[in-house]
Amino acid sequence: MTGLAILFGEANSLRRRLIVNILLAVGFCFALASVILSYEFYEHLAENRNEALAREATEIAGQISPAAPDLGLDAGALRFQGDGGLYRHTVFDEAMRPVIGGEAAEGLADRVSDAAMGEPRFLELGDTRTGAALIVEREGRRFVVLASTAAGHSEESDWAELMHEVSEEVHWLAIGIAAILFSAILATRRSLAPLRRVSGEAGAIGPGTTDRRLSTAQLPAEIVPLVMAVNEAFDRLDRGYRAQRDFSSNVAHEVRTPLAILRSAIDRMDDGPFKHDLRNDVHRLEQMFEQLVNLARAEALGVTAFEEVDLHEVALRVAQEMGVAAMRDGKQLAVTGAESAKIHGHAGLLAIALGNLLRNAINYTDGTGEIEIEISDTPAGWHVLDRGPGIPDAQKAQLFQRFTRGETGGRDGTGIGLAIVKSVAEAHGATVSVADRPGGGSVFSFLFPKS
């Protein structure tokens, strides 16, 4: 999982949507506030500019020292020379001669003659320029400080002035955005915490815990009806599961007993073709019954029953169990490939699936030969290789369906074995397939997804 997914959630997740929607709402409010502030700035531009000019003039006046060279001011500074800044400044003596700076405003003396000491007088200087004149007295000498907007002042200058004002507060803006983002993430996590808890409760419900239900504590009111509906669905499924389990138990009991009695009766019969045929029929019934039970177990398998399983160990155990029967048919079983391939699954049902693949290979391999169980570790799984007649391409797609049997020879079967293999594979998230083996025969593959 990437850092972005950890922070904001997976793509298309409710968590990411909530965070994005909160940020969009905040962004809209921020944009709206910016428009309003800009409008207010331009609406009160003259007032704001006059206040700024007054501050500039007061600052210069406070720095005047008549006994110092250049009145204690830096005469070569940009603020006194040229129009490079937002403002330009000029200090006049009592005769209204510029001492520092180069502003030569005509008629300035007459326009400030009646100005009160220390009170700024705001002036229009022409060419869209404005200024603020401030009369001060320092050590018995009278000075006039003029702060004016620079030449060429325009709407661009107004915008620059606005940006100047905003830049002074940009750090607070950054802190505010970070606080909003953090609050959005925290609020979303807290809001979704009950849903994560309910998801964990749902993941813990399996065939062995069908009585558990999802809790509605601390859930949002909008989610409670959905959870209650899910609980009701679990109730219906539980009733159906219990009924099916009871039915399977009853069938297992009712079928095994008469089959055992029938086999016992057949064993007491005199040897002959009829006894042999009956024994084979009973064997087929027992095999079909066991495979039907295994199929039901595979389809009811839940991930709560999974544990770490080594496919190599399962293959060795199954090969040992079926090796004697294979040798009676003149065939040998060999386990090759990786010495270890560990997955997360159900060892018992995986052994049943591999046993069905081997039984299928034994039944469909004519004469003597070797049947190979190849262990794969990338990806983990089995390949069962036989030297049978092969499977026509037209039959491969339907081969793993129930009661479907190959038409290329072999002994009588139930048509359920490969369906069990497919059910076990699906319960484990694995895939099962069949392909032609070079030199003749088939390769049945049971492969798990790459972790």
369 strand-pairing partners: 331
Instruction: Answer whether residue 409 shows pLDDT above 50.
Output: no
- Structural domain includes residue 203: no
Whole-number Å distance between alpha carbons of 315 and 377: 13
Does residue 240 sit in the same domain as residue 352? no
pLDDT tops 50 at residue 260: yes
Residues 317 and 439 in one domain: yes
Residues 339 and 435 in one domain: yes
Residue 443 pLDDT class (50, 70, 90 cuts): very high
Residues 346, 412, single domain; the answer is: yes
The verdict on residue 213 lying in a domain is no
Residue 289 domain flag: yes
Neighbours of 115 (CB within 10 A): 15
Please indicate, yes or no, whether residues 160 and 182 belong to a single structural domain of this protein: no
> Which of 198-207, 309-318, 410-419 ranks highest by mean pLDDT?
309-318
pLDDT tens-digit readout, 109-134: 888 888 888 899 988 887 777 889 99
Q: Based on the domain organization, do 35 and 177 belong to the same domain?
A: yes
| Mean confidence (pLDDT) of the chain | 79
In a domain, 384, yes or no: yes
> What residues make up the domain containing 412?
303-447
Average pLDDT over residues 242-248: 69
204 in a structural domain: no
**Pairing status of strand 342-345 against strand 331-337:** unpaired
Does one domain contain both 150 and 177? no
pLDDT in tens, 69-97: 888 888 878 777 765 556 788 899 888 88
Which has the higher per-residue pLDDT, 315 or 394?
315
Identify the weakest region by mean pLDDT among 32-41, 162-171, 318-327: 162-171
Name the more confident of 439 and 181. 439
Q: Specify whether 432 is located in the same domain as 317.
A: yes
Per-residue tokens: 186: 């925290």
Residues paired with residue 22 on neighbouring β-strands, in sequence order: none
> Per the domain annotation, does 349 fall within a domain?
yes
Supply the CATH number for residue 156's domain: 3.30.450
| CA angle, 99 then 101 then 106, to 5° | 85
Three-state SS string over 280-309 comes to: HHHHHHHHHHHHHHHHHHHHCCCHHHCEEE
Residues 34 and 56 in one domain: no
Could you tell me if 37 and 174 lie in one domain?
yes
Residue 219 belongs to a domain: no
pLDDT score recorded for residue 423: 84
Ranking 167-181, 187-201, 286-300 by mean pLDDT, the lowest is 286-300
CATH number of the domain that residue 347 is part of: 3.30.565.10
pLDDT at 315: 94
| More confident site: 422 or 267 | 422
Question: Do 37 and 53 reside in the same domain of the chain?
Answer: no
Residues 287-333 pLDDT 10s: 667 666 665 665 555 545 678 999 999 999 999 988 888 888 888 89
Count the domains in the chain: 4
Give the integer Cα–Cα distance in Å for 375 and 385: 11
Same domain, 65 and 10: no
